[in-house]
Each structure stands twice: as structure tokens, then as C-alpha cells.
Amino acid sequence: MALLALAAGRLLGWGELASLGVAGLAVVVVGLLMTVGRTRYRVVLDLADHRVRIGQRAVGRVEVRNAARRRALPSQVDLPVGDRLVELSVPGLAPDAVHDDLFAVPTERRAVIVVGPVVSRRGDPLGLVQRRLRWTEPSELFVHPEVVALGGANAGLLRDLEGQSTRDLSDSDLNFHALRDYVAGDDRRYIHWRTTARRGKLMVKQFEDTRRTLTVVALANATGDYRDPDELELAVSVAASVAVQAIRDERDVEVLAGPGRLRTATPPLLLDDCSRLASSSAGAGFVL
């Protein structure tokens, strides 16, 4: 617009229009000069916790340090927090000076909230010219579903850390059943030498097969299976509570939800995957 005003003022002999073009070009030049030079910051993005429960307070800190040898001009820092954008003002900093800002993260709903990256903005006050620099990598904050402790889950149940015996016989297992005559091909490690010496012929051990209990929790994520989002949250909370209790009881457990299996090595990993679950029109539903 400045160039057009300057050209039209020259062609038409309209001094005011040409002056307006000169003023516009001057503003653009000044804006460019304000972005010259590289800002040297050391920026730290720190979350107090990377895993929180629904409703638990979650805060973070952005530390900006001037790593240059000269004073840094004031700038703006943008911090994406989920769907929101937090704008932080960084004042002019002397060499090696530090500026801290605290921010809060909303945790009303189960989710995985991406915090960051921290991006600095530097430009003219009119916003004609702007320079953006990225200083950190994004961090994930897991808002876990509500988990209810299921106390007394083992009352009256047999713990099967070494397996529960069955009536099926096996040549190698843990639960001893009886002795039988040696048959060609039997593993010699299971020969019972005392009985063999007493009876004068080879005798081998026979075992009962053992089985371990496997707890499977299946969670549908089809949109049509739930009346509203709150019902889905309740289903996720129930599934997470049952699975976490099974892990704490040292039972084998699998959780089938969404596109496949969730991680069940530890409760935090399971709850991290639960935080990512969402309903989908193409998701797996209940089949009766």
C-alpha cells in the first residue's frame, strides 16, 4: 500500500499521497530493524507433574534466561496448552538475567494435554513484521481417569502365582502327580533315582498341568454404545479400576480398548493409555 501510494502520488503530483507512502515505507523499515539480530535465550519448560488425576491441580513454569552479552529487548512468548494459547510477556533482560512465569493447566476432563513448545515473538508494535523462534519441545500431561480402589478383591480366591493345577497330565510341569514306568523318549531329568534304585527299573515323575488366571477387560469405544460423553467417562473409570486392581494383585491382565491392547506392565502406563481413549463412529462396539 505504501508503494502504491508513493507511485500514485508521484504520477498524479499529489504530495499528500506521496508523503503517506513515504511514511508507510518508513514504518515497514523500522519494523524490519526491530527484528534484526538473533535473540539468545535459554528457555526451560517445567511441569510439576506429568501425571495427574481428574481435578488435581496441575501447574508449570517457564524460565527465560538471557544468554547474550548485551541487554535483550522485551518480547512476547507464546505457550500452547492444549487448545488454548497462553501469552507471556518477557521484559527487557540484562545479561544472564532470568524471568519466570507460572501457568495452570485445566484438568477437569480426562485427556492427554500437549504443553508447548515455547515460541518467542519479536517485532514492531503495529504487528507488521514479526519473527518467531522455537525454544523447547512439547511436553505431554496425562490427566488420568478416576480410579476407585477395589479392596478385598482376593477374599475367598486362590492365589495362583505358580498356577492352578488341572486334571490334565503332563510330562513336565510344577505340580507333581505320580510316578510311572520309564518310556523311551522321556526326559531323563525327571527320572526319580531313589525309586528306580529300590524297584530296579527306571521310574519317571508325572505332573499335572497348571494354568494361570488371565483377566481380560474389554471396553467398547463406539459412539453409539454411549448416551453421552459422561457415560463413556464412567466406563473408562470402571475398566481402569478393575485393571489396576488386577495389576496390583499381581494377576495377568489384558485390557482391550480402542484400536488394540493397552499397556498393563504397571498402573501408570495403563492409565496413560486410558487417558488417550476416545469414542469413534468406527470404533469397536458391543456384540450380543
pLDDT of the residue at 37: 64
User: What residue spans define the domains of the chain?
Assistant: 2-34, 41-144, 147-160+212-288, 164-211
pLDDT of the residue at 80: 92
Query: At which residue does the C-alpha cell 519473527 appear?
Result: 131
Residue 166 pLDDT grade (very low, low, confident, very high; cuts 50, 70, 90): very low
What own/partner pairs with CB < 8 Å and gap ≥ 24 does 84-92 have?
Answer: 88/62, 90/64, 90/120
Residue 165 pLDDT grade (very low, low, confident, very high; cuts 50, 70, 90): very low
pLDDT in tens, 41-90: 899 999 999 999 998 999 999 999 998 888 887 888 899 998 899 888 88
Grid coordinates representing 259 are: 484400536
State the burial class of residue 284 (Cβ atoms within 10 Å of its Cβ: 0-12, 13-18, 19+): middle
- Calculate the average pLDDT of the chain: 82
The whole-model pTM stands at 0.68
Ranked by mean pLDDT, the top range of 19-33, 42-56, 249-263 is 42-56
The answer on pLDDT for 258 being more than 80 is: no
CA-angle at 278, arms to 117 and 85, nearest 5°: 25
Per cent of the chain over pLDDT 90 is: 30
Q: 41-144: CATH homologous superfamily? A: Immunoglobulins (2.60.40.10)
pLDDT of the residue at 10: 79
The Cα 162–Cα 276 span in angstroms is 34
CA-angle at 107, arms to 106 and 109, nearest 5°: 120
- pLDDT mean over 82-100: 89
Strands 139-144 and 51-53: parallel
pLDDT of the residue at 141: 95
- pLDDT mean over 124-149: 86
pLDDT in tens, 199-246: 888 888 887 666 667 889 999 888 888 888 899 999 999 999 999 998
